[in-house]
Structure 1
Amino acid sequence: MVKFTANDKLQAVNRYPNGNESLREIAKSLGTNHKAILKWIKQYEYNGKDAFIKSYTKHTQQFKLDVLNFMIENGTSLNETAAIFKILAPSTISVWRKQFETQGIDALQSKKKGRPSLKKESDQHSKQLPVEGSKEALEARIKQLEMENEYFKKVECLSSKQRKITKQDKAQVVYELRHTYPVKALVRLAGIPRSTYYDLVRRINLPDPDADLKVEVKAIYEENEGRYGYRRIRDELVDRGQKVNHKKVQRIMKELGLKCLVRMKKYKSYKGTVGKIAPNILDRHFTADAPNEKWVTDITEFKLFGQKLYLSPVLDLFNGEIITYTIGSRPTYSLVSGMLEKAFERLPENNQLLMHSDQGWHYQMKQYRHALESRGIVQSMSRKGNCYDNSVMENFFGIMKSELLYLKEFESVDHFKRELQQYINYYNTKRIKAKLKMSPVQYRTHFTLAA
């Protein structure tokens, strides 16, 4: 393996900004790979020329903890963390992390050089164990059984919400029983190293640094009735002035047991060719440069109180806003025609619009095609049996069912319709759309003001 001097690395870093050579070309000329060059560039960005000067400083336990905590809190990679703290080999941090996770905080303590003392081992052998069957042995056995009984009772009471016994639970029980039984015997019973126990106790006694953030995350989750995942909660936190890494939000949600529901399938309205099939003009180009350029529509089904309901909305691809919708107990053509009439009220005159749907029988009808032609609207249809051609509408149905239908309980069909109206208003005006970083109506308003 080729070894590079500090001067070699500095010259390679200085060659890159000129723009005449790529990372791979520089790496090839030096006989290394482009990842090495990228690592040197990162090191130079944070520490300048000093990044390439070897340091023989012995890293302390506290320094190693600071490095690991920084990487966890900020979500930085091994390479970036190594560059920031001037650690030449990123794999060194990986070793520290593995030591800490498997052996606890004591594993980060630098080991003393030389051969270990045999005094402690000889002292242990010199201790006499009680003779089997003696009074001392019987008393020791009774004490052991009392300790086990008390330990397992307390652990069961402290087990987490997921009904799993965590290391924190074990450490807390050991801490409570430390004055009654030897810590050494308790941690052996708990199956955790003493170093791990002392590290967990230290953390238990410290205030939770994320306590306020956890309250905020839970509040946002509950405000949106469990409809937000970690990405949207992160975006909401940013809107509220808190810049937090999405991985940290994901970790906090996992700790709090907060998660979204699974999406369900939609109603299929395809009945073969009963009219005229339009070409797939949209062709999965699901973006629009302005409002009312591309609309998509479809029908979905609900089953409530022993009866079915059918929803026919229309969605603007510019911002994902639901323009309007109709709902009925039967999937008749009037469901779609009523939706069109309401949608046309929102459409400016002489507006160039593309209307996309699947090949459902409603959209093949002569009345439907003429209604679009009368407003100069171009019709587009998905290919037969290809749900991905109308995936934006399918995505909305999945979100709406998981965030409304399968999340809330309804007293009647009328109650459901009222909740549906409130949900669509919430979806349009308040719910953050991850791609837009704001709600659909907010995005349209920003566009209108900027135009």
Structure 2
Amino acid sequence: MLWVTDLTEFSIPAGKAYLSPVIDCYDGMPVAWTIGTSPDSALANGTLADACSTLKDGEKPIIHSDRGCHYRWPEWIRIRKDNNLTRSMSAEGCSPDNAAAEGFFGRPRQEFFHKRSFTGVSMDGFINMLDDYMVRYRDRRIKTESGHGHHGPSTRARSCGMIGGDGINDESNKTSPVPSDRHFLYILVPSIGNRGSSQAPSSSKPVSKLFDAPSTSFPQQKGPVENEIM
């Protein structure tokens, strides 16, 4: 198991809020998170303690972070040691080492924060809205890979009857359709005449089928492309 953690800031007219999640790199889902108005030790320590409370017997994940002071405070280190977590930190001045956490932050910014006005929203109201988004992301959001939908851990568990609640919205069973037909790509080359002739070939003929390709890759053709040399 590999966990990553970091802090990010959201600035609205009412002030600044900070999100501190622990992300499981196996499925990209948040294991735990805290939200507050200050990037202090309570925020980071609370996140790690909540994440560790989800561990089963024998689970000892690696916890990776950047070199921020939040992850060098004695209390944070004590929580890590008490739960037998292996510590991992980014190299000095190498933020890409924690790209998995940074990449996660792009999703709430794009899906929840950007292009949305929070004028008139109180700080408590914003924190509640952000927390609701994180709950939906963990429990109901569909993640896709290569166009095939699948559910997050909690939703999969609900859909299998393992835990209560519907956990699945109307969009949850939609996946990308499988192409219903396939098309062949033909390559046409000049026919070979007299090898010693200087005249250009007078006709073309299709070479045998080279391979089949998905219909999404090539436009539909009723037959071989005419008079085209590739």
TM-score bracket for this pair, using the shorter chain length: 0.5 to 0.7
The residue aligned with 1:428 is 138
1:350 aligns with 2:58: yes
Counterpart position of 2:152: 440
CA contact (8 A) 2:63 2:86 kept: yes
Correspondence 1:379 to 2:91: no
Take 2:31 and 2:79, find their aligned partners in 1: how far apart are those partners? 17
In structure 1, how many angstroms separate the alpha carbons of the residues matched to 2:91 and 2:157? 34
Pairs aligned (count):
156
- Provide, for residues 3-55 of structure 1, a one-character-per-residue CA deviation record: whole Å limited to 9, x for no partner: xxxxxxxxxxxxxxxxxxxxxxxxxxxxxxxxxxxxxxxxxxxxxxxxxxxxx
Change (3 A) 1:310 1:351: same
Q: Is the Cα contact below 8 Å between 1:315 and 1:321 reproduced in 2?
A: yes
Q: Is the 8 A contact 1:294 1:355 kept in 2?
A: yes
Amino acid at match of 2:125: H
Equivalent pair of 1:324/1:342 in contact (CA under 8 Å): yes
CA distance in 1, matches of 2:155, 2:98: 22
The change in CA–CA distance for 1:394 and 1:361 in structure 2 (over 3 A counts) is same
In the alignment, structure 1 residue 415 sits paired with structure 2 residue 131:
no
Q: 1:409 deviation in Å?
A: 3.0
How many angstroms apart in 1 are the aligned matches of 2:6 and 2:41?
12
Q: Distance in 2 between matches of 1:374 and 1:430?
A: 32
Residue type matched to 1:393 in 2?
A: A
- Residue 330 of structure 1 deviates from its aligned partner by 1.1
Report if the CA contact (8 A) 1:350-1:376 is conserved: no
CA–CA separation in structure 2 for the residues paired with 1:378 and 1:353:
6
Deviation at 1:322, TM superposition (A): 0.8
Structure 1: distance between partners of 2:133 and 2:112: 7
Q: Is the 8 A contact 1:296 1:393 kept in 2?
A: yes
Tell me if the contact between 1:431 and 1:438 (Cα under 8 Å) persists in the aligned partners.
no
Q: Assess if the C-alpha contact under 8 Å between 2:140 and 2:155 holds in 1.
A: no
Q: Which AA in structure 2 matches 1:353? A: P
For 1:196-211, list aligned pairs within 5 A. Answer: none
Does the Cα contact within 8 Å between 1:354 and 1:377 map onto a contact in 2?
Answer: yes
Distance, in Å, in 2 between the alignment partners of 1:441 and 1:408 is: 29
CA distance in 1, matches of 2:75, 2:154: 35
Gap runs ≥5 in structure 2? 162-230
Identity of aligned residues (%): 33
SS at match of 1:355: strand
- What 5-or-longer segments of structure 1 have no aligned partner? 1-292
Matching of residue 361 in structure 1 with residue 69 in structure 2 = yes
Q: 1:62 maps to which residue? A: none
Deviations 1:155-198 (A, max 9, x none): xxxxxxxxxxxxxxxxxxxxxxxxxxxxxxxxxxxxxxxxxxxx
Partner of 1:402: 110
Conserved? CA contact 1:309–1:327, under 8 Å: yes
Partner of 1:133: none
Q: Tell me which structure has the larger Cα radius of gyration.
A: 1
Matched with 2:28 is 320
Q: Distance in 1 between matches of 2:44 and 2:9?
A: 14
More relative contact order, 1 or 2 (CA 8 Å, 6+ apart) = 2
Q: Give the alignment partner of residue 336 of structure 1, picking from 34, 44, 69.
A: 44
Question: Greater share of helix residues, 1 or 2?
Answer: 1
1:306 is displaced (CA, Å) by: 4.6
Cα displacement (A) at 1:443: 7.7
SS in 2 for 1:434: strand
Q: Is the contact made by 2:35 and 2:131 (CA closer than 8 Å) also made in structure 1?
A: no
Closer, same or farther: CA 371–327 of 1 in aligned 2, 3 Å: same
CA distance in structure 1 between the partners assigned to 2:151 and 2:131 by the alignment: 17
1:44-443 alignment to 2 at 5 Å?
293-410=1-118, 411-435=121-145, 437-441=149-153
Shift of 1:350: 3.1
What CA distance in whole angstroms lies between the structure 2 residues aligned with 1:387 and 1:434?
Answer: 26
Higher strand share: 2
Q: RMSD between aligned alpha carbons? A: 2.3
Task: Specify the code of the residue in structure 1 equivalent to 2:151.
Answer: S
Going from structure 1 to structure 2, the CA distance change for 1:437 and 1:388 (only over 3 Å counts) comes to farther
Question: Is contact 1:296–1:355 with CA below 8 Å preserved after alignment?
Answer: yes
SS of the residue corresponding to residue 352 of structure 1 reads: coil
CA distance in structure 2 between the partners assigned to 1:394 and 1:409 by the alignment: 23
Distance 1:419 1:330, change over 3 A: same
1:28 is matched with none
Partners of 1:307 and 1:443 lie apart in 2 by 34
